[in-house]
């Protein structure tokens, strides 16, 4: 898979920023918690995708620590 053109990436980031600003602007009208969760998703999900694309080894390390395949590593102590 090739590199993503800078123009396309910037276009997508601008769309995310505009949606985030709209969600923040509407939050007093639509209920804080629902809008806050949608806003967090708009920010965190694309950021996670970008991070995992740029740093695949670091993302694998995060996945291994968050979702261990060995249940014995979840000790109560």
Q: How many other β-carbons are positioned within 10 Å of the β-carbon of residue 23? A: 20
What percent of the chain has a predicted confidence (pLDDT) above 70? 83
Q: Which two structure tokens, joined as six digits, stand for 36?
A: 């806050």
| DSSP per-residue string spanning 15-42 | HHHHHHHHHHHHHHHH-HHHHHHHHHHH
Q: Above 60 in pLDDT, residue 74?
A: no
Tell me the angle at which helices 6-30 and 32-54 cross, rounded to the nearest 10 degrees: 160
E strand or H helix that includes residue 44? helix 32-54
pLDDT digits (tens, 9 = 90+) for 27-37: 777 677 777 78
pLDDT digits (tens, 9 = 90+) for 16-64: 889 888 888 877 776 777 777 888 888 888 888 888 889 889 888 888 8
């Amino acid at each position: 898979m090739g590199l993503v053109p800078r123009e396309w990436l910037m276009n997508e980031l601008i769309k995310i920023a505009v949606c985030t600003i709209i969600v923040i602007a509407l939050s007093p009208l639509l209920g804080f918690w629902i809008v806050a969760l949608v806003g967090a998703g708009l920010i965190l999900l694309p950021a996670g995708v970008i991070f995992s694309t740029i740093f695949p080894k670091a993302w694998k390390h995060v996945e291994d620590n968050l979702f261990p395949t060995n249940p014995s590593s979840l000790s109560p102590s």
